[in-house]
Amino acid sequence: MLRYKRITIPTVHAGTETILEILTCPKGRKYKIVTISTAPAASIYLRVYKNAEQIVDAASLICTTGSPLLPMDASLDVGDVVKAGFYNDGVVEDAKEITIGYTDGM
């Protein structure tokens, strides 16, 4: 089953990275992240970490109206933790949302 989860990253200050936990794989489950999406903004970089290893570092501008979902193929086992957020390389300091699509039982 395809599921979606959304988090709101609070104000992303210039020159800083703001990261929050978005998904943890519980006992008896396996997940696979298949998409990630956010609103595009200049100088804002989307970052995703799996167990502290960075697996995404991309300009949020890649998520456009015509192609809002970034395909992913990240398998999660029991205890794996995924964190996501932004690095702000500019002056925009608004809260932003991140949405992931994931499946279970893979």
- Averaged over successive runs of 10 residues, the pLDDT of the chain (106 residues) comes to 94 91 94 96 93 95 88 95 94 88 84
Q: Is 22 exposed, middle or buried (0-12, 13-18, 19+ CB in 10 A)?
A: buried
Residue bearing tokens 């699509």: 101
- Residue 90 is part of which domain span? 2-104
Q: What is the pLDDT of residue 90?
A: 85
Quick one: which of 67, 14, 16, 13 has its CA closest to 38? 67
Q: What is the pLDDT of residue 64?
A: 86
Largest CA distance in the chain: 43
- The CATH number that applies at residue 19 is 2.60.120.1050
Give the pTM. Answer: 0.91
Look at the chain and report how many structural domains it folds into: 1
Q: What is the pLDDT of residue 106?
A: 53
